Amino acid sequence: MTDGDLDTTAYSAPDPALTGPIAWMARNPVAANLLLVIVVIAGLFAISTLDKEVFPTFPTETFTVTVPYPGSSPEEVERGIVLRVEEAIRDIVGIKEIRSEAREGVGIVTVVMEAGSDMSKAVGLAKVRVDGIASFPGDSEKPIVEEIESSSRAIRLSLFGDIEPRKFKELSEQIREDILDLGGISELTIEGERDYEISIELSDEKLRRYGLTFDMVVAAVQAGSQDLPGGLLRTDSGAITLRSSSQAYRGRDFEELSLISRADGTRIRVGDVATVRDGFAEQPVLSLVDGKPALTFTIDRVGDQNVLGITESIRDYVERKQAELPEGVRLQAWGDASRILSGRIDLMLRNAAQGGILVVIALALFLDLSLAFWVVLGLPFAVLGCLAALEIFGLPVSINVLSVFGFILVLGLLVDDAIVTAESAYARLERDGEGLKSVVGGVHRVATATIFGALTTAVAFGPSLFLTEGFARIMSHIGWVVILCVIFSLIETKLVLPAHLRHIRVPQPGDEMGFFRGVQQRVAQSLMNFARGPYRRALGLAVSYRYTTLAIFFAGLIVCLALVPSGILRVTFFPSVPSDNIGVTLDMPQGTPWQKTHEYARRIESAAQAMNERFKAQDAQGRDVIRTLLVLSESDTQARVIVDLIVSEERDIDSVVLGKWLREELGPLPGVRSFRIDAAAGPGGSPIDIQLEGDDLEQLRQAASELKLSLARVDGVRDIRDSFNAGGRELDISVTPEGEALGLGDVDLARQIRQAFFGAEVQRVQRGRDEVRVYVRLPQRDRTQLDSLQSLWISLPNGGRAPFSVVGRVREQTSLSVINRIDLSRVVNVRADVDKAQTSSSDVMALAESSMLPEILARHPLVRYSVAGEVDEQRKTSDGLLYGGILVMLLIYAALAIPLKSYLEPLLIMSIIPFGVTGALLGHLILGMDVSILSAIGIIGLIGVVVNDSLVMVDFINHYIEEGYDWKSAVLEAGPTRFRAVILTSLTTFIGLLPIQLETSIQAQFVKPMATSVAFGIFFSTAVTLFLIPTLYYVGQDIRRAFGGKEALPAEA
């Protein structure tokens, strides 16, 4: 052979069917496997580096201005603090809402900014303006302006036992330091702890005996207890520091301070005229865990801290520390919020495994075992690919209960895409025999339809990435997961799966088959025979009587959609999901003695123990249902009880029933201002929260009272309460004419009364990590009797003294414990809970707005109202979903119109969406579930699956028409051809989600509404895809012919 001769047999033009990326990857299994391995490794690495939290955290876009004003009433705080702060910051750009709270001794202004605001700039500007307020009361403390950082509870830790209080506090401080030294923990609060305090208690009788006054003692303590630098003494030998170290730190140090020093050398010490108590603040605190005195540490997760790592390190620490504690003292970890996350992850893995096994069995029966294995392999590829993308691109998604929720939701969608592709390749193998060309041709055949079908799923969740209002905001975590999983599923089915399917061998006639293979072939052949026989005849009948078919389907659609407005199928924003704990909150009227509050708290504790005994009597193993019981009251009028239960999987009685038992055992609590038992899991906020606004407090009080009475008449509404806490006794003090004649003023009189009863704060001493306040005041016994006020001697400007009964007078009136304001107006919130087995918050709110509120506001014209709580969240979320839904429909239409090159056919395909929703509603009705926001999320995921199946069906019909079939033959051929894929898609998705329906864990209760929507929606839309879509295609041709359209096709070939 010469150089000019060419061996033309070595070269041939490439087969057009084996070009492009799909064919290239199918011919190069090494490249496909390397892609698979790289994605899996990257995903596994991302699992260890991604943030882990229970619930997703978002920027709070909130800052607070806190101004302490010790000893002041709410009205004084409102006038002197809150109004001034509101006026100073009200015009900062980007403010969405200003919420203010005036309480006894403190004013708090909370500012909520618009989403995306520059918080550092807003906080800085607010600090400058607040610091510039010169008219704050003289006794108020320095304002604190701080941005609220997102945080969430990780775990609780209780130290309890019989031990002396000071030793108890020292031990708690040691534990606190140990926890902060563990690393990865930066936010910790201690409940049930009392602050150290030094009280210098002056007897009025001794003051008169020694000729002293409160002011003289205060001045002497301040002058005698301080460290002062004296500068430097520069000598020839060097510089010497001079200082005076006279700061008192302990009670005995203050006792030795001099008040009067006489020329004869005698002196009067503080201890001579006062009793110095170095102990704890006088506020009575009730803090018990399992009946023992306790301190409870709450450890929060902030920033990018790992909640799983936090809880694991705390539990390890508890095991080590318990051995070092004194006898009779226990350290117990409980309230582990990470169990929710780990439980959700376990649920996903468990159900993915169970569902995967069921999918493999189904596919192995109808197709091929090895094909089933490669189809299921796409699930971990897509999930790990999603995790890798989240980490590599730094997307704002962590591993949390909602992102895991998204993974659970997307499992069915991923199987659907893989099955459509694998079944098409297998069908081509059956028709054309084995070979690379058959596999690539089969994948190519459905590539366009599956790509644009996946695009519809991405479009359906796309708007969720931009939601910023209400509960809908959290859907961004679900949206990113679903979109990325769908993208990686496409990569796997188009670039990895074909390389593995090329090795599948389709049994040929005469092949020797084993038992399993023989069973599989008989089952598969039976399905195909059904498709070519009974189904084809039924489809022919349906299209022949197409308008009757349409009437039947649309009549069923109307009937099913009517289930909601008829009330047969109830709609609630968030389902009533049982919890693993019960929370009880108690709020007594202002002025209630602390002894009464503590008594009621102990009664609730006893009722919880009685509930526990009731459970033990019914439990087969006689177990306790309570793991930890916390009783806590840190104020005179408020208390709360937390009942931590054994996990739901270990008991047959849910927390809602247990909560009802607790209520029954407790009985009535006379004189309670508000009482609530919360035994359900889910987002916070009251189911009913009506916000009454206005500046007239009396009209607000009357309107709130009337609204509470109206709500009490509604069945299913309970624990009705309001934020208007009036009724506490208050003594208004003023100077008598005799006092004015002696030169005494109201301010000076009030200051001396404040010194005597509240105390004059003379110093704050730092002892270790504790800041100890030092007060000068009357003895405690004199501060608990009203007669002490009348007998108190008041210092006069002329140096004399007179009894209060001469220079002062009192007027008794009622006072408020708190004044709430929103956007510069006073507000009163009327809140209530609902029994979701009887009614829903939206139904109650609709009744209130239609009949109750118009009548009440007509009687009180200065009062306005707005809606807060769960109903407000529902409306914000519904608005976001409505606008997002409209956008989604438009984008889906565009995504379908492009590959179909038609304006009509996308509408034909999208007509399946209402029928998918119908299936979801019927599923909820069959299982006795309410439709909720979780159901809506499942319906959004359902859209992609049902549209995908319909798109592939229409694509096949068009393909047969392009090959020369008449339109009737094309429809009757496409239906049986797609029958196996449609049935397998529906069957595998339904059985893949079946294990979730059988779960009893708390985590599964959140997922069940979503799984029900997807499973039953796909199940019922199967009939729509197989019968209605071909029928509508017929009708579309009828319409085109009727209007003489250019797309009209011949009736018969």
Q: What is the pLDDT of residues 216-268, one digit of tens each?
A: 888 888 888 887 777 777 777 777 877 778 888 898 988 888 888 877 777 88
Residue with the two structure tokens 């302490």:
68
552 or 205: which leads in pLDDT = 552
CA distance 695 to 13: 87
The pLDDT of residue 384 is above 70: yes
Across 730-753, b (16+ Cβ under 10 Å) vs e yields beebebbeebeebebeeebbebbb
What is the distance in angstroms between the CA of the first residue and the CA of the last residue of the chain? 57
pLDDT at residue number 359: 73
The pLDDT of residue 379 is above 60: yes
Do residues 359 and 379 touch, judged by C-beta distance below 8 A? no
Across 542-555, b (16+ Cβ under 10 Å) vs e yields bbeebeebbeebee
Which range among 178-187, 444-453, 937-946 has the greatest average pLDDT?
178-187
The pLDDT of residue 67 is above 90: yes
Residue with the two structure tokens 């790992």:
306
* Least confident stretch, 531-535, 680-684, 862-866: 680-684
Q: For 586-638, how does the pLDDT look when each residue is reduced to its tens digit (9 = 90+)?
A: 988 877 889 999 999 999 999 999 999 999 999 888 899 999 999 999 988 89
Do residues 876 and 472 touch, judged by C-beta distance below 8 A? yes
pLDDT at residue number 1053: 32
544: left (phi over 0), alpha (psi -120 to 50) or beta: alpha
Taking residues 999-1016, what's their average pLDDT? 77
Q: What is the mean pLDDT of the chain?
A: 83
Residue with the two structure tokens 């801290």:
305
Taking residues 770-784, what's their average pLDDT? 86
727 — pLDDT class (breaks 50, 70, 90): low
pLDDT at residue number 610: 94
Contacts of 674 (CB under 8 A, 6+ apart): 585, 586, 587, 719, 721, 722
Taking residues 651-673, what's their average pLDDT? 89
pLDDT at residue number 232: 75
pLDDT at residue number 601: 94
The pLDDT of residue 6 is above 90: no
Q: For 487-529, how does the pLDDT look when each residue is reduced to its tens digit (9 = 90+)?
A: 998 898 888 888 888 777 776 655 566 666 677 778 778 888 8
pLDDT at residue number 470: 56
Q: For 969-990, how does the pLDDT look when each residue is reduced to its tens digit (9 = 90+)?
A: 888 888 888 888 788 777 777 7
CA distance 1045 to 1029: 20
pLDDT at residue number 514: 61
Do residues 287 and 266 touch, judged by C-beta distance below 8 A? no
pLDDT at residue number 362: 75
293 — pLDDT class (breaks 50, 70, 90): very high
pLDDT at residue number 1052: 39
pLDDT at residue number 1049: 42
51 — pLDDT class (breaks 50, 70, 90): confident
1048 — pLDDT class (breaks 50, 70, 90): very low
* Least confident stretch, 287-291, 417-421, 556-560: 417-421
Strands 770-777 and 196-202: parallel
Q: Give the Cα-Cα-Cα angle 518, 524, 528 (nearest 5 degrees).
A: 140
CA distance 198 to 569: 63
Q: For 129-151, how does the pLDDT look when each residue is reduced to its tens digit (9 = 90+)?
A: 999 898 888 888 899 999 988 77
How many Å is the Cα radius of gyration of the chain?
A: 37
Instruction: Please give the torsion angle defined by the CA atoms of residues 394, 399, 400 and 403, in that order, rounded to the nearest 10 degrees.
Output: 80
pLDDT at residue number 644: 92
The pLDDT of residue 643 is above 90: yes
How far is residue 226 from each of residues 267, 763, 765, 771, 951, measured CA to CA in Å?
20, 9, 10, 15, 83
467 or 481: which leads in pLDDT = 481
* Least confident stretch, 7-21, 34-48, 924-938: 7-21
Taking residues 784-795, what's their average pLDDT? 82
pLDDT at residue number 596: 93
Across 990-1026, b (16+ Cβ under 10 Å) vs e yields bbbbebbeebebbbbbbbbbbbbbbbbbbbbbbebbb
Query: What residue ranges define each of the domains in the chain, with the CATH number in brackets?
Result: 1-52+365-513 (1.20.1640.10), 59-149 (3.30.70.1430), 151-195+281-336 (3.30.70.1320), 197-278 (3.30.2090.10), 534-568+902-1053 (1.20.1640.10), 578-681 (3.30.70.1430)
Do residues 192 and 283 touch, judged by C-beta distance below 8 A? no
